[in-house]
Every structure is written in C-alpha cells, then in structure tokens.
Structure 1
Amino acid sequence: MNAQEPTAESRRAEREMRAAVREQLVAMGVPGNTAVEIVDLAFHATDKAMDALVAATEVSQDSRVRMNALLVATSLVDIRMKQARDSASEIAGALGCQMMHGTIRVGGQPS
C-alpha cells in the first residue's frame, strides 16, 4: 500500500480522467475556467484523502489488518461523503444557490 511514483500510463490516465470530468462539467453549463478550478481542487482533495487513508492504516504491522482497515475506512468515507453532499445541497438551497447534479463518467463507468 506504499505510495509509488506515478508511471507514464497512470499520468496519462489521470490527464484523460481530468479532461473527461472537465468536459462533462462544461457540458452541464459550468464555465471552462471554473471547471478547470473545480477539477484541480477535486483531484487535490482526492489525493489528500487517499494519502490520509493509507497513512492511517499503515500503522499496523499486519498486512491483512492494514488492507481490511483500508476497506472499512473507504466504506465509512463513502457514507460520510453522501452525508456531506446532502448537507451541501441543503445549504445551497438555503443560500438560494442552484445546485447542479450530474453523474461524472470515467472510462464509461459512473464515478
């Protein structure tokens, strides 16, 4: 579970994913420069979250414990992120902001 230096293939895949997300945001009506900023912040947050998950679970000496802790942690993060999305929608509504909802597709799969 140690972080590895990104390969040329993984860098290419990330560029493609960033472009796909950016294109979908623009298609939903988000201005191009705002879409770029959203994508940059979203990928930064994702990288930081993954780094934190891995670092927190690597304290165990047992690889099975580390792997299972990581799997449980990602499930808990999913639950908390759903709660955060629900809260953001409520707050946006209270502020009179229009929320845009869409499903981002990466490699043909919903993300």
Structure 2
Amino acid sequence: MTSAFVAATDVLIPATLDEDGRIGATEALSTIKLVKDLGMNPDLRVVGIIPSIVPGGRSTLQDAMAEFLADTYGSLYRDDLVIPRHSVRQQTRFACVPITDAPGREAQALADVYDRILTASGVEA
C-alpha cells in the first residue's frame, strides 16, 4: 500500500463502521504520515474518511463507530458520503469486472455513489 501512497496525489480512506474500520483508518493515516514525513510524497493529501459497506439498517455499533470517527477525525470524516452495502459489489469483485459493467439498479446506484464521492471530494477519476 505504501507504493500507492507514494504515487497518489489524494487519498480517500474507506472505513467500515466497526472495529476493523477504525483500525484501518488509523493505520492508513499512520502510513500516510510516514510517507509524507520521509519525503516520499510530501504533498499527499487526505481528502476524507468515508463510511463504507454500510448496511441499510442502523445499529448501536455503527452509530457509536460513526460518532468515534467523527470525533477523532473531525471534518475528514464524511458522513455525507456513504458507500452502502450492496451484493453487486462482492459479485463484481469475485468476477473481476468493474461495477459499471454489472447490470441492474443496484450496480447503477453504487456507481452513482462512487461518482458522487469523487465529485464531492474533489478527486479526479
């Protein structure tokens, strides 16, 4: 992952609303700091931490984790940009095809979410 941070200009960090997401966001930010501090990519910019693979309903754990991420990362945490859990994401991943190649409303909805995230965060696709 470090080589991706060296080559990137901007980073969006997806975080599931559970302990794995909290740990992943923390580790990603630590790695990004290291990459910047070592001069490998001093201009690398974190543009957001995005709630990812969020199921339709709400749970106490999800609410608590969202609150933790918001309190810890402030404006970096973008609860206005949520990647929902859709089975098409796993299906296309297994089939090694882009979501945009999948048929159906779920695939289109997920592609629209990703487009909105990139547009709102100022990252070019």
Larger RCO of the pair (alpha carbons < 8 Å, separation 6+):
1
- Give the TM-score of the pair, scaled to structure 2: 0.32
- Please say which structure displays the higher CA radius of gyration: 1
- Give the TM-score of the pair, scaled to structure 1: 0.35
Higher helix share: 1
Higher strand share: 2
